[in-house]
Structure 1
Amino acid sequence: DIQNNYLDKFTVYCLINNNQKDEAQLVLDLLIERGFKDKFFEDKINFLLGLTEKTTQKILDNNLLNFYLSHITSNNFEYEPNDKTDQYIWRYLSSANLIQLNDFENEDVILAYEQAAAENSFEKDEIYKIYLRMFFNFNQLINATEVYKNLPNYKARALLYQSVLLSTNIEQKLYLAFLLKDLFIKDKLLNVYFEELSNILKAIDPDEIPESYRELVRQNLDQYSIIIKQIKFDNDILHRSKVLKHFLDNNEEISRTEKDFRTVYKNIKKNKKYFLSIKDIIVLESLRVDGVSLPSDLDFSNISSQLTIPQNLQDLVNQNQTGLLMLKIIEIIGEDDIRDLDTETIYFLNSILNKMNLKKIRNNILSEALPVRI
């Protein structure tokens, strides 16, 4: 019943959003006749229908739809997430650019953001943006290895992270980077730092790494690579090839992707029986959106033109309704494993996310839906 009520409420709002207010009113009246009671929802819908001039400014975050309605009907929307905030609300806040953090002295608030990132509900790179916004004076940065001991854990992480970026001495940079790793481990937040540590280590010229750190660096890079090693790449099939590293690594190196693509494209061109599948089109469209240069003789427009996005979702894209699209995407995926979604669904989800420039969410979906794991 709870699930049905949620979908019924979602239907009412979608009708209003499509300017079908009479139909929305009719559906709501039928729900009420069946015993539906939800004062908050009715208040919001009456306001959106123009039946009332005012609506409660209370923010309800017990589900994503109520939170969304709170947002779009608020005169001055302010919301501070915490460690109990639902992961979907975190994602909505991030995608709708509603994260406004100005209080860097509140340890509980910062820790809530860090924990959300560790649970993959909040973008990890946003944590580092927060760290970089924290102010430390020159002496604190120079003496970071001692100063951090007297700071709250989140500030200690921010100080060490800034110090890592500023350090020009390779040995000192490595010492700080691994010291920072220990702080993340201490608060069970290593998932936040795993990829960033790998990026820091890969940016250092291997020949400049001191002998005493070489084994430690190798071990940490190997740990990060284990995710890639669990994937079986097949360079004879585009959507299973090493080109997928582009999405697994969040498209950091376009030149590497283009090099990988040229290799794979040579393979599939040799196979006269090879035909582009829908999953191949998903990869190609995403690469093109990301600015990857594709061969001039590769024309997939005819196949792409035969694939469609549901009209109601296309309308939301045209209206730039990011929040409502996120609601709809969550409804479509539900509790299912992304790998169980049919190819057509993955296609239109991918197409929507490309159009809305929500590339990290897209990459997460493609990283689950396309690779063959062993």
Structure 2
Amino acid sequence: MEKWWWFLALLLLIAIPTEAGINVGGGVGVNVGPIGGGGVWIGGGINNGNGNPPVPSGSSPSGLERAFTALQAWKSAISDDPSKILDSWVGPNVCSYKGVFCSPDSQEVTGIDLNHANLKGNLVQELSLLSQLSLIHLNSNRFSGQIPETLRDLTALQELDLSNNDFSGSFPTVTLQIPNLIYLDLRYNSFSGTIPGELFNQKLDAIFLNNNNFEGEIPESLGNSQASVINFANNQFTGNLPASFGFMGTKLKEILFLNNQLTGCIPEGVGIFTDVKVFDASHNSLMGHLPDTISCLEEIEVLNLAHNELSGVLPDLVCSLKSLENLTVAYNFFSGFSQECTKLPDRNVWFDFSLNCIPGRNMQRPQPECSLIPGGGLNCLRIPGSKPLVCGSRYPSSSP
């Protein structure tokens, strides 16, 4: 009988493991099987020493595992979610999270669209783990704080929309280091300071800076931009319009300078090389006569120069533009306009010339205001009128 007790004791010793093999930190990690060659780990507080989900021995984390780490870190940095969007951000199946979009094979997160989610919080550096992310849309939230420097690692990112949030501080230069970015939207925030000239050396197709607190001069490198739309509106920019503006090339379709503190002349080169459709420089302090090169804007549909201090006669060259739909020159000091301008209403073109200094017309400035034209001593560079005007955009091979 005694031999049997020794035999049973020996079996028990063999059955008991020498190590527990369970790593418990802030939570418990459960491996539910391999996906894409790795394990999927469940739990918001798994601890492998750095706060990230554990990686099975001998393998690197898959795209979805990295996405889980990134999105859980971001979720912890969001303090208010009134619409309960993030209630779905639970578990390893990140492709089921609201606002998160995956590749067709569900192996990588390729897009985040949280527009109008009203989330309050910060961006986190772990977002750089989303290596295949091509778009981030965060319009109309309450994100604040710094833009993480690690976003430079998002080599697949093409669209970054941070508009209508509570970001502040200087221009986020990390956005210039995202190699394939083509759409940058920073509007309706509280960014301040100057903008870097390098911004216009990127291959960005859309640049939205409007409704911030940017100041200083618009860099002369503007002429290098490849963008089709640029919006500077509702900031505190000062100085002249860059002389390079008119040489930006045919890709430019819309450019808005309105409601800043810009001064000086409209550059003589405006229109020579561009096919712009919308040009709005209203609500500034621009002076002098309109350059004849505006007549090169054959594709222009909206030309708004209202609320400036421009003077002289509005010429046929402007009013003859064939694509015009809206010409607004109200609240300036123009002293007249040509016969061609009187035909604009017959062409169904909106034409507002109120509150200028045009004799015999209604709704003009009182005469005392017209006795002293602002910028009378302003010397604007002009191309000699004796030479024929050649518009460069008509010749694709030409370059500034």
- Based on CA coordinates, which of the two structures has the bigger radius of gyration? 2
TM over 0.5: no
Question: Between Structure 1 and Structure 2, which shows a larger proportion of strand residues?
Answer: 2
User: How high is the TM-score relative to the length of structure 1?
Assistant: 0.27
User: How high is the TM-score relative to the length of structure 2?
Assistant: 0.26
Question: Between Structure 1 and Structure 2, which shows a larger proportion of helix residues?
Answer: 1
